[in-house]
Amino acid sequence: MRDVFEIAAGWLEEGRKFALATLVELREAATAPIGTTIAVDETGCVFGNIGAGCYESDIVAACIKTAADGEIRRLDINLTSDDVILGGTACGAVMQLLIWRPEPAFAHTARAIADGKEATRLRIDDFEHVFPPKDTLILVGATTLAAELATIANRLDFHVVVVDPRPAFATKERIGGAHEIVHAWPDEYLPGALSDRTLVVVLSHDPKFDLPALRCALQSNAPYIGLLGSRRSQAARRLSLQEEGFDETALSRIHGPAGLDLGGVTVGETALSILAEIVAARRGGGGSPLMDAGGAIHHTVCVR
């Protein structure tokens, strides 16, 4: 969704005529979050999606009118009917959209929403919505898996930071999906970076990285702490932390090996399983971690 506001900012700077359709009310099924927006220019070029099915053409038509005359329009869409004569898609949602043409000054707000660095308020007519800042995903260790995680996490609306003191490994060329690359040891960077909106995945397989990163994460209120590694390395990390005074309650916060058991074996599949577990943790979903009931850890790809 943030990509739409990036496009809107660019269109405003180009002087292109267009309108935005913003979801302002939703009942029954959740087709998209409140605040979801699509952009439609005067020629009918569409960027984004609200999930209105066969009614998307009505939204586009309303946007083309507003792009031309600047009039704010309200569009009510009912997706609860399965009657092919009366219309509807039986999706179970009733939604209302505001169709509006932004002024050139909106480009600044649009870019702020797209960047997601801080909470940004959107006001249209009598509708007001706050876009929260992006959650941050910190990847400790500039590995091949970090590159895969960064790419997918971008699509999940994370601000991705890679922490690794080795300049030869921690480069934008190797990890193009990262928003920030920090050349520092974990215990140098993490204490000032962790919060309840910061998730951490430790990927290095090296105790010089793993232990300081886990120590910092466990001393914070980070909502997710993931650790890559074999059964042996998982046990070794926990033993070291126990000897430092961390109890079982603290150690239970570590998801290790990180990821849901999707049965994957490739680097990309491992990245997907880790982010699936993160989504489940954030949204309250279920799923099986990479460990069976008897404590046996399933296969985990070892990548550097």
- Torsion angles phi and psi, residue 4, rounded to 5: -65, -40
Look at residue 93 in the predicted model and tell me its pLDDT. Answer: 75
Residues 177 and 118 reside in one and the same domain:
no
Which pTM does this prediction carry? 0.81
Question: Is residue 296 in some structural domain?
Answer: no
Q: Are 200 and 213 in contact (CB under 8 A)?
A: yes
Query: Among 68, 100, 131, where does a domain finish?
Result: 131
Q: Is 294 a domain residue?
A: no
For helices 144-155 and 267-283, the axis angle rounded to 10 degrees is 50
Is residue 118 helix, strand or coil? coil
The answer to whether 213 and 186 have CB atoms below 8 angstroms apart is yes
- Does residue 7 lie in a domain region? yes
| Domain identity same for 168 and 73 | no
Which of 87, 102, 131 delimits the end of a domain?
131
DSSP state of 22: E
CATH code for the domain in which residue 201 is found? 3.40.50.720
Same domain (yes/no): 7, 89: yes
The answer to whether position 289 is within a domain reads no
Instruction: State which residues form the domain around 200.
Output: 135-283
Identify whether 304 is part of a domain: no
Q: Please give the chain's pLDDT, 304 residues, in tens.
A: 799 999 999 999 999 999 999 999 988 766 688 999 999 999 999 999 887 677 888 999 999 999 999 999 999 988 776 544 444 445 557 889 999 999 999 999 999 999 999 999 999 999 999 999 999 999 999 999 999 999 999 989 999 999 999 999 999 999 999 999 999 999 999 999 999 999 999 999 899 999 999 999 999 999 999 999 888 999 999 999 999 999 999 999 999 999 999 988 899 999 999 999 999 998 877 665 654 323 333 333 333 3
- Find how far residue 59's CA is from the centre of its chain: 26
Say if residue 6 is in the same domain as residue 39: yes
Burial class, 285, CB count within 10 angstroms (exposed 0-12 / middle 13-18 / buried 19+): exposed
Beta strands in the chain (DSSP E): 18-28, 37-41, 46-47, 73-78, 93-100, 120-124, 127-131, 135-140, 158-163, 180-182, 198-202, 225-227, 254-255
267 vs 221: CA distance, rounded Å? 29
Say if residue 80 is in the same domain as residue 160. no
Task: State the CB neighbour count (10 A cutoff) for residue 302.
Answer: 14
Do 62 and 184 belong together in one domain?
no
